[in-house]
Every structure is written in structure tokens, then in C-alpha cells.
Amino acid sequence: MSHLDWHDLPLEIWLVDILPRLHSEQLSRLGSTCKSLLSITRPLLYCTVTLSAERYGQPNVALESVLSLLERDRHLASFVEALTLDARASAVERYSQNYNLIHPPSFRNMTRLKRLTIRGDISRSAGRKDVHTFLQLIQERNLDQLAFPTPEIRSFLLPLHHSDDQPEKLSNSKRLVFSLTFDYHNHLGPVIQRILGAAQPILTSISLHAPESILNLFFDLRFPHLQALELAVLTRLNPTTPAGFYQFLVHHAAQLEELSLIPVGFARGRQYTGISFEPSNGSQSKLAQDFLPRLRVLKAAFRTVEALARARIDSFQRLEKLVIAAPNDDEAATAADIRHMFDSFHGPLPALVDIGFHSQLLAWLSIEERLAFVPEIIESVSRIAGFTLEKWSGVVYFPNTDQFTSKAFSRLRCIVFPPVDLQVNALSITDFSSVFWTCETLEEIRIRNKHPNSMDEVWTVNRRARELICVGSEEASGSANIAW
């Protein structure tokens, strides 16, 4: 029998069985070994592209050659499906030194682009003509998602206030993502209102983290095809539920499949808090059993989860993912709060495959108190979803993992540990072996390693490979991504 060289493996084996398992660095190394492999790894690498104006606090000198390549090579540029333009600078004076990320010639060649993410003040070093061309190209792409996940985008959006049609060019996407800061002079709100107003006929998903003034403008609008809603309120002091929220939710309740109302962190020292509707604010009396009939994914504060569970809404029987949080850092849950929440469930959740617990949920409990209480949480989850659950995220620590038996969780595939302050790469495989031994169905363990000044790393260990690997940031985890 003749020896088959690995270079000669059929293309479908590479595309289906080998390459999808590799991360970007592994793909890059593999592609550099020979020209034939480069031809199949390069398109995969360029599916997701990140361009950063700075690297390690200095202007990114590689950008000019990369953008020139994407301008010259239309075929290569056509493989880009997800693009992130990160214009954030380490200091204000850096903006004038950093390379301009608005580059219409290369962007024009990205004919298959479906997801565009813009971070920072992208327009500061761009000419007006380039900005207008860029907006026109965004409109023509009919994107699946257009995301502005950092408050610095304010400087890009504000000049559109004086334009007759520029804001509307950002409305031609199925999903929009905004993270906005306070609108001190009421200039940003009208721009956002024009974008969202023009998006009403086609928008299916929105993530809006904003001050209450902008959220109330949003609540005046109606979206006939809205399926996924994520909201958080930027607040200085005591968080409140925006006045128009509940009526907006009621109007769209029949069509929503995903609802996220949990806190999402901080912006310049101010907190994006969650939104609650619960007995304390009078919403409970309005919750009918057929409320949110199509709901599959719920991310909410523990009291909101309790209110919906006590109302016995029918969709809890079809709920596939549940994330439980505290509404803000000042209202973390006590052990009694969590017990009351789990006691409110009337029977199992027969469709639940994914459960998560927000990192600040038990912030008021000491480490010792958490370790003592987590077994009770695990037992409660086993009672309502032990036969269906495939993924568990948050709350648990290594001393608690002996409860993840195959008897208690017969389908569990993945455990994600909460962010930890330790040298993850100092852990040995023996630290994980007992977990895999206890739960025979478990395939993967993930750990989020905290970094105060950057995005958390994600480390993973697989039952078969038994090797601890860093797969990059939480945001990039799970997909090939080429970045400059």
C-alpha cells in the first residue's frame, strides 16, 4: 500500500475535518509550509479580519501594506465576511499619528462583508469625502450586523446630525449594536433616533447600551420584525427602569426570541446597569401566562427571572439558554435571594441546554461563603435541567466540581469557570482530570483569565487532547481571526 503524504489529502478532508479545528496562529503556521496549503488556509484566515490603528501603544505601521493588499487583490478581499476597525488610541495626540482606517478602495472590494465592527473615533484622521464614501458603501453592503461597541463612536456620529441623509445610511443592517455615553447637549439622541427610525422595517436584532434619555427615544419606535433585544442603562447613581421600557416590551413581546437585560460593565467610571421588571415595580400584575411566547434566550436579573417563573409563562418550557445576573453592583444577590428564585420554578425547564451566572451575582458573598453555597446552586440546576443541560458558565470553582456527576448532569459537555486571578498556564492537566473523571459526558473545560487592562483571555482543555491552550480573547474565541 503506497504511503499517502499529508499534503495530498483530499480537499474536503482539509475543509471539513482539519482546518475548522485550528485557530488563527495554527492556520498561519500551516499555510507557511507550502503553497498548496496557503491557497486553502488564506481564505479561512481572511474571513475574519481585525485592523487596529495602534499596536503596543505605537502607530501600526503594518496597516498601509495590508490595506494596499486588500485594494490590489480583489479576490482575497472578497473572502472577508467580518471586519473590525479598531481606531482606539492610547492618547488623544496619537490619533493624528495613527493610520487612517477609513480606506474606501479596500472596503469596496469586500463584497461578501456581513459583519462590521467599529471601535473608537474612526473618523478623526479621515477626510470628509472618504467618510461619505465609507457610509455609502456600508449602506450598499446590506450587513447582517453593524456594531459600535465603544462610546468613542460619539465623535463619528455627531457630525451626521447636520446631514440630510447620512445617518440613514447606517440603518440598512439586520442587527445594530450601540454603546453610548451621556448626551449632554441633546445632539447624539436625534442621530440615533434617525438611524433607528430608518431601520424599523428591517431590524431583527438590537443591542443598545445608552443613557435613559436615548433609551426613551428608542422606546417610542416600533420594530415589526424585532426578534432579539439587548438593553442596558448608563447611569451615574441609583439605577432605575426607564419609563417607556415596559410598554415597549409588551408591544414586541409576541415576536421576541432573545431578551437580554443584564449589566454590561463600565464606561469612563459610570456603570451600564441592567433593567428589571419585578413585583417591586408593579409589573408582576401584568404578566400573563402567554407573555413572551417565543422566548428561547433570557439574560436577566435574578428578580426578573423569579417574576417570570412565578407567572408560569409558557415559554419557560421552551427556554434554551438562561443567564442570571445582579441588576448592578449595588444589588448583588444573597443566598436567600437565589433560593427564592429557584423555588419559583414550577417544575423542570425541559429545553434548557445552556445556563450561565454573571460574575457579580454573588459579589456580596465572601469566597468561603460562595464555596459553601455553590453546591446548593448546582443541586437546584440539576433539579430543573439536569437531563438536558449541555453547558454551564460561571459561579463554580474547582472544589465544587465533584457534584457534576453524570447522574446529576447526563448531557453536560462544557464547563466555563468564572474569571480568575491566577497564572492559568501554571495549572497542570491533573487539575482537570478529576473533573473529566467525575462527569463522563464532559468534553471541554474553559477558563477566563482576568487581565485588568485588557480583554480576558480564554483557555481551554479538551478531554481528548488533554492540553491547556490559550484560544485568545473571549470575543475572538471560536473562530479564525487575522489581525494587524
**Phi, psi (rounded to 5 degrees) for 145:** -150, 135
Q: Are 264 and 272 in contact (CB under 8 A)?
A: yes
Say how many Å lie between the first and final Cα of the chain, rounded. 45
List the one residue out of 398, 412, 417, 407 whose CA is nearest residue 463.
412
Domain limits for position 382: 365-484
Please say whether the beta carbons of 198 and 165 come within 8 A. Answer: no
Is 426 part of any domain?
yes
Closest listed residue to residue 140, CA positions, set 163, 105, 172: 172
For residue 366, the tally of other CB atoms under 10 A from its CB is 9
Q: CA 25: distance to chain centroid?
A: 22
Q: Name the H helices within 405-449.
A: 430-438
What is the C-alpha separation between 11 and 114, in angstroms, rounded? Answer: 26
193/36 Cα distance (integer angstroms): 50
Provide φ and ψ at 449, rounded to 5°: -100, 120
How high is the pLDDT of residue 421? 52
Question: Is residue 232 domain-resident?
Answer: no
Question: Coil, helix or strand for 118?
Answer: strand
Map grid coordinates 482606539 to a residue.
88
Is 403 domain-assigned? Answer: yes
Residue 58 lies in a domain: no
Number of H helices, E strands in the chain: 15, 21
SS3 content of the chain, % helix, strand, coil (to 5): 35, 20, 45
Using alpha carbons, select from 300, 302, 262, 304 the residue that is nearest to residue 283. 304
Phi-psi region of 376 (alpha: psi -120 to 50; beta: other; left: phi over 0): alpha
Q: Are 85 and 97 in contact (CB under 8 A)?
A: no
Where residue 269 falls (left for φ over 0; alpha for ψ -120 to 50; beta otherwise) is left
Residue identified by cell 465572601 is: 366
d(CA 452, CA 421): 10
Q: Hey, is 297 helix, strand or coil?
A: strand
468 belongs to a structural domain: yes
Cα 281 to chain centroid distance, Å, stands at 29
Long-range contacts of 345-348 (CB under 8 A, 24+ apart): 345/309, 345/316, 345/384, 346/309, 346/312, 347/384, 348/383, 348/384, 348/385, 348/387
- What is residue 339's three-state secondary structure? helix
Asked if residues 86 and 94 have their Cβ atoms less than 8 Å apart, the reply is no
Instruction: Report CA-CA distances (Å) from 4 to 7, 8, 19, 21.
Output: 8, 7, 19, 22
Give the position of cell 495626540: 93
Q: Is residue 414 part of a domain?
A: yes
Question: Is residue 462, in this structure, part of any structural domain at all?
Answer: yes
C-alpha cell at 286: 401584568
Contacts of residue 310, Cβ cutoff 8 Å, sequence gap at least 6 = 284, 344
The full length of the chain comes to: 484
Three-point CA angle 473, 366, 457, nearest 5°: 5
| C-alpha cell at position 31 | 499555510
Side chain identity at 447, as an amino acid letter?
Answer: I
pTM over 0.95, yes/no: no
Helices in 270-365 by DSSP H: which ranges?
302-310, 335-343
If one counts the domains in the chain, the total is: 1
Question: Residue 268 is placed in which grid cell?
Answer: 469612563
pLDDT at residue number 455: 56
Query: Given this model, what pLDDT does residue 478 score?
Result: 39
Residues 143, 80: contact at Cβ < 8 Å? Answer: no
Quick check: is 397 in a domain?
Answer: yes
Cα 362 versus chain centre, distance = 22
* 8 Å CB contact between 415 and 401: yes
Orientation of helix 245-252 relative to helix 212-219, angle to 10°: 40
- Digits of tens for pLDDT over the chain (484 positions)? 445 455 565 555 455 455 555 555 555 555 555 555 556 666 777 788 999 988 888 888 889 898 999 999 999 899 999 999 999 887 766 666 788 899 999 999 999 999 999 998 888 878 889 999 999 999 999 999 999 999 989 989 998 888 888 999 999 999 999 999 888 888 899 999 999 999 999 999 999 999 999 999 999 999 999 999 999 998 866 667 888 999 999 999 999 999 999 987 655 556 788 888 754 455 445 688 999 999 999 999 999 999 999 999 999 999 999 999 988 767 788 999 999 999 999 999 999 999 999 988 988 888 889 889 999 999 999 999 999 999 999 998 878 888 999 899 999 999 998 876 555 555 666 667 888 888 999 999 988 776 544 556 778 888 877 666 766 654 444 344 555 6
Report residue 82: phi and psi, to 5°.
-130, 125
